[in-house]
Amino acid sequence: MARIPGLALTDHTFTVPLDHERPDGPTIEVFAREAVAPTKVDEDLPWLVFLQGGPGSASPRPTSGSGWLERATREFRVLLLDQRGTGRSTPVTRRTASSMEPAELAAYLKYFRADSIVADAEFIRGQLSPGKPWSTLGQSYGGFITLTYLSKAPEGLKACYVTGGLAGLDATADEIYTRTYPRAKAKTLRYYRLFPEDVAKVRRIADHVTASDVRLPNGDRLTVDRFQTLGFGLGMSESAESLHWLIDEAWDGDELSDAFLYGAMARTDHTLNPLFVVLHESLYGQDDRPTNWAAARMKPAEFAPTAEPFLFTGEMIYPWMVEDLGGLRPFAEAANLLAAATDWTPLYDPTVLAANRVPVAAAIYHDDMYVDANLSLETASRVGNVTTWITNEYEHDGARTSGGAVLDRLIQLANDLPPA
């Protein structure tokens, strides 16, 4: 057991089947870190499993028991789960990709979606909380996983808290981007209202990278398409300010500055979380509907690099990423196979969800750039025993930036619902 300010931490590693339908087949490791208030280490506390946003991101590495963790550990023993393929859970990396043929890699990656993550969680519950259901906190993609959990193993759940993550139960990838491109435009225009001088500054950079072979410190080319993805964070708190300061220091004479190039590289490189790119659109792949690089197909003409004003994109994934980003090239052929796949397993069961009795409290961020609020409300109307809190006080990262206030509100709301 390790101790940091406000937390006692214990590491757990579990060996689980790659395919839970074949328990005697290949295995992978899944890692999770237990966090508890130091004064409650020996208490019999209920479990709260944190389901990280993503896909492809490891669970938080806490440095103290502050923020939402401080609120959670008042009454829970928290499990920070590295979803399979991330962090210390048999990570999927460019080395993984380089060791497999494209078809083999594509087949392997299909085992890293929400249904497999839920099966891992149930396996782990059997080890840590046998016979007792536990609660979950799902941030963004973690909310998608929550809906899969409620569909496939509701008996394992006592209560669910969701922050910015009520997915459309049957929304296609095409519908998702039809809804989210306008939100990316709105966030870009808000950024320009805050910093009107940046309209011309951004245009200058866009024209420069279009006309020149600009190289990032890792050797990748900074194309205008990649520059456009700097808008990914505009749906988070203070991200407009952060982008402004990057643009403000973009030039060193007639060339782009090292500070800008290093900053742009860090914000647009996915080498450390390749699943985010390779599996992102598969979140919306169900049954026989291929995603077919939906974000690229649905991109409106007003997002063309020559359009005025220059609009940044949001949480959109494009086929050029697996060609232009050096860390993702080993995934290119497999990613194209996944984009064409028509054999996706269903992630949600509308019938089971409609009859749900597990208390679910969900924060829906009215201006959410990533998860459409209207689609979230539609989902809430189709799931039993759900209460929602609609707010524009926070951006998509409200659970993290609110200092525990969002989680506290959801716990109170769930406590008012009928128990499962």
Instruction: Return the structure tokens found at 231.
Output: 């808008």
What is the residue-wise DSSP string for 275-325?
HHHHSTGGGG--BT----SHHHHT--GGGSTTSSSPPP--S---TTHHHHS
Tell me the pairing of strands 386-391 and 360-365: parallel
Residue 225 among the catalytic residues: no
Buried b (16+ CB within 10 A) or exposed e, 268-295: bbbeebbbbbbbbbbbbbbeebbbbbbb
Buried b (16+ CB within 10 A) or exposed e, 188-209: beebbeebeebbebbeebbebb
Tell me the pairing of strands 77-81 and 47-51: parallel
Residue 408 among the catalytic residues: no
CB-based contact 137:161 (threshold 8 Å): yes
Cis peptide before 60 (omega within 30 of 0): no
Instruction: Return the pLDDT at 323.
Output: 97
Q: Which residues pair with 35 in a beta bridge?
A: 9, 78
Instruction: Return the pLDDT at 286.
Output: 75
pLDDT tens-digit readout, 222-280: 999 999 999 999 999 999 999 999 999 999 999 999 999 999 999 999 999 999 999 99
State the Cα–Cα distance between residues 178 and 294, nearest whole angstrom: 10
pTM for this model (two decimals): 0.97
Catalytic residue, chosen from 116, 396, 397, 402, is 396
Top CATH class, 2-170+348-415 = alpha beta
Residue 270 among the catalytic residues: no
CB-based contact 288:342 (threshold 8 Å): yes
State the Cα–Cα distance between residues 120 and 126, nearest whole angstrom: 10
Task: From residue 416, give the alpha-carbon distance in Å to each of 41, 104, 156, 385, 413.
Answer: 28, 48, 20, 11, 5
State the Cα–Cα distance between residues 413 and 401, nearest whole angstrom: 20
pLDDT tens-digit readout, 296-341: 999 999 999 999 999 999 999 999 999 999 999 999 999 999 999 9
Instruction: Return the pLDDT at 288.
Output: 82
pLDDT tens across the length of the chain (420 residues): 999 999 999 999 999 999 999 999 999 999 999 999 999 999 999 999 999 999 999 999 999 999 999 999 999 999 999 999 999 999 999 999 999 999 999 999 999 999 999 999 999 999 999 999 999 999 999 999 999 999 999 999 999 999 999 999 999 999 999 999 999 999 999 999 999 999 999 999 999 999 999 999 999 999 999 999 999 999 999 999 999 999 999 999 999 999 999 999 999 999 999 999 999 999 998 778 899 999 999 999 999 999 999 999 999 999 999 999 999 999 999 999 999 999 999 999 999 999 999 999 999 999 999 999 999 999 999 999 999 999 999 999 999 999 999 999 999 999 999 998
Instruction: Return the pLDDT at 120.
Output: 98
**Residue 20 DSSP label:** T
Catalytic residue, chosen from 140, 151, 282, 402, is 140
State the Cα–Cα distance between residues 196 and 407, nearest whole angstrom: 35
Helix axis angle, 332-339 to 102-109, nearest 10°: 60
